[in-house]
Amino acid sequence: MAVQMYNTLTRQKETFQPLEEGKVKMYVCGPTVYNYIHIGNARSSVVFDMIRRYLMHRGYDVQYVTNFTDVDDKIIDAAKEAGEDVFALAERFIHQFHEDTSALGVKRADIHPRVTETMADIITFIGALIDKGYAYEADGDVYFKTKTFLDYGKLSGQSTDDLQAGARIDVGEQKQDPLDFALWKEAKAGEVSWDSPWGQGRPGWHIECSAMVKKYLGDTIDIHAGGQDLMFPHHENEVAQSESLLEEPMANYWLHNGYLQIDNEKMSKSLGNFVLVNDLVQQHDPEAIRFFILQSHYRHPLNFNVELVEAAGAGLARIRTFLENVRHRYRASADFAESGRWLKKIEDFKDRFTREMDDDFHTGNAITVLFDFVKEGNRYLQEPHTSKDVLQKMLDAFAEWGDVLGISFSVEEDLLPDDIENYIEQRKEARVHKNFREADRIRDLLKERDIELEDTPQGTRWKRVSKS
């Protein structure tokens, strides 16, 4: 089965066909770096990191670009409030973005372009739009003539007539039409600015991504992605600018993740429910947060609260406990030849996982496959004889799925397995000779190092626990 993805542009699932066989050009709108990212930003980062990972898993060479808007009104205002240099503040929050998203298992993009490093390309892009009659200069500002792009509204599904009814020209703007939007803004006194043919200023938000996509990925790309809140006006305006200038589709597939709410309410500072990732990863296992995000389909709304994250953490712990038991059984097993039926079951689970992921990256259903596997695998562990081959294939399957989901299903161990096994063997000898004091001493020693022992009919198992 080929990968199917829901294309916002056509409002239907489509079979993915890249521009160049085996290669994918993918652009994801990144943050405006004036503060720590919130959980809504994190959802977008995690979701599109997962899609990138899955396309790579399916054999594609993915060129992945995510930008930083490192000059903007919000950044300028935040720097003034903090008494900090604009560029220093932006640099600080770019670093923090990498810290927070890395904690959530997000791999860095192949390229992280910045607005300040792409200024010459942005100015060239604007000049070309003016030359072609799609933009005009007005007292140091430059605006895009929205109605010259006849397909305006095709991405978001809005008509220019409907948009016209709610549009207005703000004080100080020199627009020819209320729907026109800024490509270049004249600098205010004391603001950071760049020289241009239209005077000192800086770019509008939308033109930045159009210029970066063209510079780093080309005139037409395979996938353009971002949060649903960016569909209009940001992505709509990108389409208008890029396709007016280049006369080619900007992207063949547009992907948007759904909104995130906090306890079924819109997240906002005024409601006091603004959840920053930097705070969250210090309070919860970051992989549990990622697991929580991926338990819902990326296009669906996602409701966040602490209880749901903790429930996701419990589910993740259940998978890890199963895999610890598999590893324990593997070390204790002799090779058992009757394994064909179980090897086929493992392949069937892998096929199910692939089918769910091929269906518009449905991680919620794919994770259900993992839990079904755990249930079936636990039955296998109760059998009197197990095959090392089957147990290894179980571990391999979860390693593969973990790489796709960006989650490690293994638990880091303070002790090497051989060390643990040596202690277990010493304790077994002590119990055989009824030296229960020594057996208890070894149990307590391991417990101090966060290793808990459990005596079972199949032998002594160990697992890693946290000190209370």
Phi/psi at 309 (5° precision): -65, -40
Strands 260-262 and 265-266: antiparallel
CB 120 within 8 A of CB 240: no
Residue 46 covered by a domain: yes
91 known ligand binder: no
pLDDT-based confidence at residue 437 (cuts at 50, 70, 90) = confident
Higher pLDDT, 439 or 260: 260
Mean pLDDT of the chain: 90
Q: pTM for this one?
A: 0.87
Helix, coil or strand: residue 64:
strand
Percent of the residues in the chain that have a pLDDT greater than 90, as a whole number: 73
Please name which of 191, 225, 207, 244 lies closest in space to residue 119, comparing C-alpha atoms. 207
**pLDDT tens by residue, 226-244:** 999 999 999 999 999 999 9
Domain that holds residue 344: 313-405
Number of domains in the chain: 3
Q: Report residue 61 as tokens.
A: 């060479």
Same domain, 247 and 328: no
Helix pair 39-57, 86-103: axis angle to 10 deg: 60
**Concatenated DSSP letters for 278-331?**
HHHHHHS-HHHHHHHHHTS-TTS-EEE-HHHHHHHHHHHHHHHHHHHHHHHHHH
pLDDT band for position 300 (50/70/90)? very high
The confidence score (pLDDT) of residue 443 equals 86
Min mean pLDDT across 8-12, 21-25, 433-437 is at 433-437
Confidence of residue 414 (pLDDT cuts 50, 70, 90): very low
Residues 398 and 459 placed together within one structural domain of the fold: no
Average pLDDT over residues 335-357: 88
Binned at pLDDT 50, 70 and 90, residue 10 comes out as very high
Per-residue pLDDT tens for 54-69? 999 999 999 999 999 9
Q: Domain of 332: which CATH number? A: 1.20.120
Q: What is the 3-state secondary structure (H, E, C) of 68-131?
A: EECCCHHHHHHHHHHCCCHHHHHHHHHHHHHHHHHHCCCCCCCECCEHHHCHHHHHHHHHHHHH
Say yes or no: 319 and 170 in one domain: no
pLDDT at 468: 42
Give the model's confidence band at 37: pLDDT under 50 very low, under 70 low, under 90 confident, else very high.
Answer: very high
Question: Does the pLDDT at position 411 exceed 70?
Answer: no
Mean pLDDT of 152-167: 80
Identify the pLDDT of residue 416.
Answer: 52
Whether the pLDDT of residue 364 is over 70: the answer is yes
**What are the structure tokens assigned to 168, written together?**
């207005």
**Is the per-residue pLDDT at 458 higher than 60?**
no
- Please indicate, yes or no, whether residues 389 and 448 belong to a single structural domain of this protein: no
Same domain, yes or no, for 71 and 190? yes
CB 460 within 8 A of CB 453: yes
Res. 170 pLDDT band, cuts 50 70 90 = low
Average pLDDT of span 334-359: 88
Cβ partners under 8 Å of residue 79, min gap 6: 34, 85, 86, 88, 89
Shared domain check, 444 and 378: no
Is residue 277 domain-resident? no
The answer to whether residues 80 and 110 belong to one domain is yes
Please tell me the predicted confidence (pLDDT) of residue 61.
Answer: 98
Task: Give the phi and the psi of residue 222 in degrees, each rounded to 5.
Answer: -75, -55
In terms of Cβ atoms closer than 10 Å to its own Cβ (0-12, 13-18, 19+), residue 94 is middle
The verdict on whether residue 209 carries a ligand-binding annotation is: yes
Radius of gyration of the chain (CA): 27
pLDDT band of residue 6 (cuts 50, 70, 90) is very high
pLDDT of amino acid 161: 75
Q: Which of 257, 287, 321 is the last residue of a domain?
A: 257
Mark whether 221 and 93 lie in a shared domain: yes
The pLDDT assigned to 450 comes to 72
Specify the pairing of strand 23-28 against strand 221-227.
parallel
67 and 183 in a single domain? The answer is yes
Closest by Cα among 310, 312, 320 to 291: 312
29 in a known ligand binding site: yes
Q: Would the annotation count 98 as a binding residue?
A: no
pLDDT at residue 455 in the model: 73
Give the range with max mean pLDDT: 43-47, 154-158, 389-393: 43-47
Contacts of 109 (CB under 8 A, 6+ apart): 28, 64, 65, 66
Which alpha helices (H) appear in 132-166, and where do they start and end?
160-166
pLDDT digits (tens, 9 = 90+) for 84-132: 999 999 999 999 999 999 999 999 999 999 999 999 999 999 999 999 9
Please work out, in degrees rounded to the nearest 5, the angle formed at the alpha carbon of residue 408 by the alpha carbons of 405 and 409: 100
Instruction: Report whether 173 contacts 159 (CB < 8 A).
Output: no
